[in-house]
Amino acid sequence: MTDPLSQQTIQRLAFVRFLHEQGVAQSAQPEPLSATAILSFQDAVEHFLLLSADHLGVNLPNDVKFLQYWEKLQPKLPAGQELPSKQALSRVNRLRVDLKHHGNIPSSHAITQSKADVTTFFTDATQMIFGVDFRAVDMVDLVTRAETSRLLHEAQTHADNDNIVYAMAGLVLAFEELLDYYTGRIHAPRRSPFSFGKKVPGFKPERDDRNTSTSRHIKALTETSKELQEAMRVISLGIDYARYAQFNVMTPPVRHYMDGSTKIIVAPWHESLTADDYQFARLFVIESALQAARADAVFARLDDHVGTYQRDVDIEIQEWTWTGSADPRD
């Protein structure tokens, strides 16, 4: 158990932590939506137990029951140690069965207790089996987009130094990069299907025209178009728009200037952002990256279909007449 963890094991641990963090976020929702946290907690624990069996070289029967994991893993654990939290997680499992199979909504107290029990289990068991701190397992290992991952790591360095405003700005940059990549890509002979047109520029009327009704009207239309385009880009990639709205409200705006500099626009309320706010925003960006990655299949199909053509090469486009069931080539 002292051997370095493989990349696959690290990614699977990252997925376990992702499910756990998802459950924590769900537990903070109003009732009855908070009940979904129980399902995420149970999924996280079961993934962890399966990963533990693989890591320890334990052969499990196909029909292994939840509480049997403690018995099956015991012979491979360090001498004198037992897998923790069996009774506590048995309660979580019963809540999950009652919810999923009987429709019984757990109380807010039961959800809070489950969150604490599952967190304690991961804290103790991850160190025991894998020799790492569960809090140090980085969910960024799930992000396949390298540049987005790099910016997430940069944001984390600021969070580690308790500079939450800079950390949140780093998350904004990571999300911007992700969105720009998937909506701004150009595939000959067309733009990304997630772009919804070219990016709408801001409207700046001439000085003498700023107060005319026409200028005000065009400015309002431009701002509305920009916001609608942004919303459509987010939604088309499968990103949760309500969570995006929360992310957008709580994070400080970031501005990019012609000289290459990047500035963070900090209002007084941004300085009251907390580590919990950062964790919510970070989880949102990671979730968004996982959702957006599904668009890679669309880009692969585009590349296969029209990738041999270059945008700067004249392409002969033909117009054929539809002739029903008859073959026009005959």
Helix (H) or strand (E) holding 264: strand 262-264
- Choose from 179-188, 236-245, 314-323 the range with maximum mean pLDDT: 236-245
Among 128, 153, 135, residue whose Cα is nearest residue 143: 153
Reported as a pLDDT band with limits 50, 70 and 90, residue 85 is very high
CB neighbours of 34 closer than 8 A, spacing ≥ 6? Answer: 26, 27, 28, 108, 111
pLDDT at 208 over 70: no
Q: Among positive and negative, which fits the CA dihedral 102, 107, 108, 109? A: negative
Task: Give the pair of three-digit tokens for residue 88.
Answer: 């506590």
Among 7, 19, 9, residue whose Cα is nearest residue 290: 19
Rounded to whole angstroms, the Cα distance separating 223 from 203 reads 8
Rounded to whole angstroms, the Cα distance separating 99 from 107 reads 11
The residue with greater pLDDT, 209 or 299, is: 299
The mean per-residue pLDDT over the stretch 61-82 comes to 90
Reported as a pLDDT band with limits 50, 70 and 90, residue 307 is low
Rounded to whole angstroms, the Cα distance separating 323 from 330 reads 11
In single-letter form, the type of residue at position 289 comes to A
In a 3-state reduction of DSSP, which class is residue 256?
Answer: strand
Tell me whether residue 62 is exposed, middle or buried, using C-beta atoms within 10 angstroms of its C-beta: 0 to 12, 13 to 18, 19 or more.
Answer: exposed
**Predicted TM-score (pTM) of this structure:** 0.75
Rounded to whole angstroms, the Cα distance separating 164 from 170 reads 10
Task: Give the pair of three-digit tokens for residue 122.
Answer: 């991961």
In single-letter form, the type of residue at position 55 comes to H
Identify the residue whose tokens are 């979904």. 36
Query: Lowest mean pLDDT: which of 38-52, 61-75, 108-122, 188-202?
Result: 188-202
State the DSSP string of 173-226: HHHHHHHHHHHH-EETTEE-TTS-SSPPPPP---GGGTTSHHHHHHHHHHHHHH
Mean pLDDT, the chain, rounded, equals: 89
pLDDT of residue 298: 87
The mean per-residue pLDDT over the stretch 175-203 comes to 82
Long-range CB pairs of 249-252 (<8 Å, 24+ gap) are 250/168, 250/277, 250/280, 250/281, 251/168, 251/169, 251/171, 251/172, 251/281, 252/165, 252/168, 252/169, 252/172
Backbone dihedral angles phi then psi of residue 59, each to the nearest 5 degrees: -85, 120
pLDDT of residue 189: 57
Helices 241-250 and 213-236 pack at an angle, to 10 degrees, of 120
Whether the Cβ atoms of residue 120 and residue 88 lie closer than 8 Å to each other: yes
pLDDT digits (tens, 9 = 90+) for 270-279: 999 999 999 9
The residue with greater pLDDT, 48 or 309, is: 48
Query: Lowest mean pLDDT: which of 27-31, 186-190, 323-327?
Result: 186-190
CA Rg, the chain, in Å?
25
Among 17, 39, 216, residue whose Cα is nearest residue 119: 17
In single-letter form, the type of residue at position 259 comes to D
The mean per-residue pLDDT over the stretch 284-300 comes to 90
pLDDT of residue 1: 40
The mean per-residue pLDDT over the stretch 116-129 comes to 96
Q: How many CA atoms lie within 13 A of 294 on its CB side?
A: 11
Task: Specify the DSSP class assigned to residue 104.
Answer: P
Identify the residue whose tokens are 């772009």. 195
Q: Where do the domains of the chain lie?
A: 7-139, 143-194+237-306
CA distances (Å), origin 144, targets 215, 316, 317:
44, 37, 36
Stated length of the chain = 330
